[in-house]
């Protein structure tokens, strides 16, 4: 319950904001109370400083949670070695020897831009093109790019 909600309940029930007794005001309150947080005359549940600290801690927790999400792909485990093959790209005009990496856990295969340009110069053409959007860290997405 927020501080404003607690104040409204005390107003509705005609209670003292300091000691919460019914039918008296904080100015006429004879009970001496002192907030342990800020030193003013009310119980800590009615303290504005405590309420502001709650909001600050919630914001910092949200920031920490966002960082944890961003860091979820980080692995401190052992190194992973992928299989490689040496293949020949053959066209009518030329033959090019290329080393490829086999990533069995990947859904897509990529080549270097340099290799794509070189293969076009040698008469090889792609058989299929697809527009892809890459999701990056921090919920950032790249624009649609032809691949």
- In terms of domains, do 45 and 90 share one? no
Residue 14 counted as domain residue: yes
pLDDT of residue 118: 81
The domain total for the chain is 2
Residue 133 counted as domain residue: no
Residue 74 counted as domain residue: no
Please state, in angstroms and rounded to a whole number, the distance separating the CA atoms of residues 60 and 54: 10
Residue 71 counted as domain residue: no
pLDDT of residue 73: 56
Burial class (CB in 10 A: 0-12, 13-18, 19+), 25: exposed
Residue 68 counted as domain residue: no
Residue 135 counted as domain residue: no
pLDDT digits (tens), the chain, 147 positions: 787 888 888 888 888 877 777 877 777 777 777 777 787 777 777 788 877 777 676 666 666 555 555 555 556 667 778 888 898 888 777 788 888 888 888 877 778 888 888 878 877 777 777 887 777 666 666 676 665
Residue 110 counted as domain residue: yes
- The domain of 105 spans 83-122
* pTM (2 d.p.): 0.35
- In terms of domains, do 50 and 89 share one? no
Whether 32 and 18 have beta carbons less than 8 Å apart is answered as: no
Residue with tokens 């691949």: 147
């Amino acid at each position: 319950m927020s501080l404003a909600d607690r104040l409204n309940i005390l107003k509705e029930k005609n209670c003292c904001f300091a000691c919460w007794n019914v039918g008296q005001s904080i100015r006429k309150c004879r009970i001496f109370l002192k907030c342990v947080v800020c030193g003013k005359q009310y119980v800590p549940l009615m303290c504005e400083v405590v309420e502001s600290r709650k909001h600050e801690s919630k914001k910092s927790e949200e920031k920490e949670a966002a960082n944890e999400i961003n860091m979820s792909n980080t692995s401190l485990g052992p190194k992973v070695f992928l299989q490689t093959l040496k293949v020949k790209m053959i066209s009518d005009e030329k033959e090019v020897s290329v080393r490829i990496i086999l990533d069995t856990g990947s859904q897509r295969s990529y080549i270097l831009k340099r290799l794509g340009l070189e293969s076009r110069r040698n008469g090889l053409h792609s058989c299929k093109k697809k527009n892809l959007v890459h999701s990056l860290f921090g919920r950032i997405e790249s624009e649609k790019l032809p691949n």
